[in-house]
């Protein structure tokens, strides 16, 4: 079974998502998308699979979003894609692909909805937030 995560190791949400995937018993293909950005075709495919428009995947925090005036509705989907390809940090993360679907794992525990084995046992995020308690119940 193949699971892929478009990952930024500097992002806590991305690290937590990767940890949840691994705790489910899977070792995903990890694509550090800032080093190896997806092609235009792959990005379009991912966005479509998530049922989004390119603008829905834009990240604002810690990016050139404001400087590029990307909040202006004048930008077309193609132009937004151009910006994402020129500045991959604009692509929100982590994006996870499993046989059960594709999603933007924000919050990180959203990935449980598309994991083949979502029964991961107790799990606590880096910041101490409990996602799955000692009884295996999803808390977050």
Mean pLDDT of the chain: 96
Evaluate whether 124 touches 109 at the Cβ level (below 8 Å). Answer: no
Would you call 74 exposed, middle or buried from its count of C-beta atoms within 10 A (0-12, 13-18, 19+)? Answer: exposed
In this prediction, residue 59 carries a pLDDT of 97
Domains and CATH numbers, the chain: 4-132 (3.40.30.10)
Confidence (pTM):
0.94
Annotated active-site residue in 11, 95, 105, 115 = 11
Q: What's the pLDDT band for 25 if we cut at 50, 70, 90?
A: very high
Question: At 5, which helix (H) or strand (E)?
Answer: strand 4-7
High-pLDDT (> 70) share of the chain, % = 99
Question: Which residue is associated with the tokens 């930008």?
Answer: 75
pLDDT bin (cut points 50, 70, 90) of residue 140 is low
Please write the tens of the pLDDT for every residue from 101-138. 999 999 999 999 999 999 999 999 999 999 999 988 89
Average pLDDT over residues 66-88: 97
Residue among 92, 91, 82, 114 at smallest CA distance from 4: 114
Q: Count Cα atoms within 13 angstroms, Cβ side, for 14.
A: 18
Token pair of 98 as six digits: 């499993």
**Residue 85: per-residue pLDDT:** 97
Residue 11 annotated among the catalytic residues of the structure: yes
User: Residue 136: its pLDDT value, please?
Assistant: 85
**Mean pLDDT of the region 24-34:** 97
Q: Please give the Cα distance from 129 to 140 (Å, whole number).
A: 8
| Confidence at residue 139, expressed as pLDDT on a 0 to 100 scale | 87
């Amino acid at each position: 079974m193949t699971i892929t995560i478009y990952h930024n190791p500097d992002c806590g949400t991305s690290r937590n998502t990767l940890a949840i995937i691994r705790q489910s018993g899977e070792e995903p293909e990890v694509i550090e998308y800032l080093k190896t950005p997806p092609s235009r075709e792959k990005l379009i495919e991912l966005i479509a699979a998530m049922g989004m428009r390119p603008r829905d995947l834009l990240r604002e925090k810690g990016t050139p979003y404001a400087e590029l005036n990307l909040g202006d509705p004048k930008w077309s989907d193609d132009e937004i894609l151009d910006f994402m390809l020129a500045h991959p940090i604009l692509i929100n993360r982590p994006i996870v692909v499993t046989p059960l679907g594709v999603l933007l794992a924000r919050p990180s525990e959203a990935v449980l909805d598309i994991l083949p084995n979502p029964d991961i046992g107790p799990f606590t995020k880096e910041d101490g937030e409990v996602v799955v308690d000692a009884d295996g119940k999803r808390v977050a």
